Amino acid sequence: MTKDVETQFFELEGFADLEWQMKEIIHHVRADTAIRQNFVKALRVAMQPVYEEVKRTAPYDNENPRSQYRPVHMRDTVKLKARLPTDKDMESVYANENVVAVGLVTVKKSAVSLAMEFGTSRIAPRAFMRTALKVKAPDALRILKSELSRMLPEYMAKLNRRRGK
């Protein structure tokens, strides 16, 4: 049973001020430094609700608890990462030229995790990662906006203090 991956797009508004602040910051520091110190940090905080939802809904085999033969369940492998995009990230259908940072919630890649998320010819998909993103995306966007609106003015003030203004 193969299905196309559901693509979800978000319309973002009110980022003109953010763009202006980033341009001002980039006049004083390298762009990658500013992005790493602001966007990546904010994205890590913003993706926390998605991470928690994936962790909560990730498959866990109650009938076969951890043992020396099964030391790890899929729930144990959930990770949250935020970083600058790589060339491979930019090849994704979800990326465009405006991507400045990447937030990821991942599980260990295996036949089991892929089968759970996307299904197989014999098993229907039981998506937990895409569902978590869909459910928690509004929270993540709200937190991202809040974090950036707090962080960028603080960062500009810090740069101004360093320059003696």
- What is the domain partition of the chain in residue ranges? 16-59+75-157
Give the confidence band of 41 by pLDDT, cuts at 50, 70, 90: very high
Residue 97 sits at φ, ψ, to 5 deg, of -70, -10
Query: Cβ atoms within 10 A of the Cβ of 121, count?
Result: 6
pLDDT exceeds cutoff 90 at 16:
no
Mean pLDDT of 157-165: 79
Reduced to 3 states (helix: H, G, I; strand: E, B; else coil), residue 102 is strand
Q: Is 58 helix (H, G, I), strand (E, B) or coil?
A: coil
The rounded distance, in Å, linking the Cα atoms of 132 and 80 is 13
pLDDT over 80 at 72, yes or no: no
Out of 20-24, 29-33, 101-105, least confident range? 20-24
- CA distances to 93, 137, 146 from 5, rounded to whole Å, are 11, 17, 30
If one compares 159 and 11, the residue with the highest pLDDT of the two is 159
